[in-house]
Amino acid sequence: MIAPARAAAFDILINVARNQGHSDELLRGSAVDRLSPQDRNLTTNLVMGTLRWQLLLDQRITSLLARPETKLPLPVQMALRLGAFQLIFLDRIPVHAAIGESVELAKQGESKFAAGMVNAILRKIASSAKLTQSVPQIDAVAAHPEWLVARWAENYGSEAAKAICLYDQQQPPVTLRLVDEQSEASLLSNGIELAPGDFLASARRVVRGDVTASAAFRSGAVRIQDEGSQLIAELADHGQRILDLCAAPGGKTAILAERNPEAVITACDVSSRRLNSMRELLAGSPGAERIRYLHADATTFQLEPEYDLILCDAPCSGTGTIARNPEIRHRLAPADLKRQQAKQLAILSSAMQGLAPGGRLIYSTCSLEPEENEEVVERCVDRAPGMALQSFARVEGLPATAFSGHYLRTIPGIHPCDGFFAAQIISTRTA
């Protein structure tokens, strides 16, 4: 017998390893939704924890293999990781459950021969010390690929690189966007405890309680959205004809619609699936009737210069969101950054064509990598006459360290949110 939470976690981890989905989306899928609240929590902890500590788990497992060079079948490898994670990091899991169920999981597929080996390795791990008490910084660093840590140290300094790694290894805060004033009272009456956001008036941190089960969340009166993501949409500020060029899943579009009650907003995305779920998600939110949806590829888009505000929240490596998407570190390779850059250059160049004289464009990513951020912006602005970079006004409550030169940059662990980058480009053309 395999407990529902372990079976669900195992399936999600296998799918993530096969590149068949992202952990956060799979954890919101119907298989997990059917579980009890306790099982949902355990599934989330197992999936996120195993992905966060995968590199160290693999080191420990490999050191115990009779032939460390042998490539194990994926179900066996995953059963070992899942078992080792529970034995090393979780306090309340009985050892016999962690080992016994991992052995059963390893028997799935064509890997029946491996049960004895999984049993033996997990028993050895169980007999050695746990790591739970305090995870030393060195382990948080070692839980990331060396090449990523090295580039963060080079770009931001070694203390910042350690702070990013530590942040990535913990469950990040659940932050809400309050859509109206009643929603806070409604959450409180549902027993949900909130604290103010770190720097935005409409942001709240969840201290206790399951927001996703509340009426306010189900009706769309509150959204879960990192404070850094909310910040980018607030920095975008005001416009009349607004283009949100890479809009799905729509968190920033929703804030633009709330804050610009007169504006018409065009929300564009290359993914019709993501655009459709965005339309459903935002259906009841303020200003939804002023959002037009456009399915288009922004790399080849021919735009007329008609928008006074453009948000270009480009697809990126996502290295600022590894705390929420722990598998990014396993999927990303150094060469991906140049590939992302090529796409970002094409998208930003198209976006700039859509800017009306005197208009403003915000380019943003959730990447910490200069190739995807300032390099893209500077190359595009340099080759576009009539475009200039402009610094942001300071945001009260946000440390001055988040602003450098023309740019805004939040760094996880240094600032209390995901890592975001933003630049503001203005059109100096006259009509």
Binding residues: 246-252, 269, 297, 313
CB of 394 vs ligand SAM, minimal distance in Å: 22
Taking the C-alpha atoms of residue 11 and residue 255, their distance in angstroms, rounded to an integer, is 35
| 367 belongs to the binding site for ligand SAM (CB under 6 A) | no
277 touches ligand SAM (CB under 6 A): no
Q: How many residues bind ligand SAM (CB under 6 A)?
A: 19
Contacts of residue 243, defined as CB under 8 A and 6 or more positions apart, other chains included, come to 265, 266, 268, 303, 307, 309, 310, 311, 351, 354
Q: Which of residues 191-250 bind ligand SAM (CB under 6 A)?
A: 229, 246-250
- Cα 71 to Cα 58, 101, 250: the distances in Å are 12, 22, 41
Query: Identity (one letter) of the amino acid at 419?
Result: G
Please report, as residue ranges, which positions from 315 to 334 form the binding site for ligand SAM (by CB under 6 A). Answer: 315
Q: In whole angstroms, give the CA distance from residue 121 to residue 137.
A: 26
Query: SS3 for 4?
Result: helix
Among positions 197, 220, 239, 251, the unique one binding ligand SAM when judged by CB under 6 A: 251
When asked if residue 40 is in the footprint of ligand SAM (CB under 6 A), the reply is: no
Give me 170's structure tokens: 């913990």
CB closer to ligand SAM, 102 vs 344: 344
Residues 6+ apart with CB under 8 A from 32: 8, 12, 26, 40, 43, 44
Q: Please list every residue from 339 through 358 that binds ligand SAM, using CB under 6 A.
A: 347
84 lies in the site for ligand SAM, by CB under 6 A: no
User: CB-wise, 143 or 312, nearer to ligand SAM?
Assistant: 312
> Does 119 engage in binding with ligand SAM (CB under 6 A)?
no
Catalytic residue among 165, 316, 366, 417: 366
Tracing tokens 């948000």 back to the chain, one arrives at: 311
State the binding site for S-adenosyl-L-methionine. Answer: 246-252, 269, 297, 313
The residues with which 307 forms a beta bridge, in sequence order, are 355
d(CA 137, CA 341): 31
Q: Is 366 a catalytic residue?
A: yes
Contact region with ligand SAM (CB under 6 A), list: 23-31, 264-272, 326-334, 419-427: 264-272
Binding site for ligand SAM (CB under 6 A): 229, 246-252, 268-271, 274, 297-299, 313, 315, 347
Catalytic residues: 366
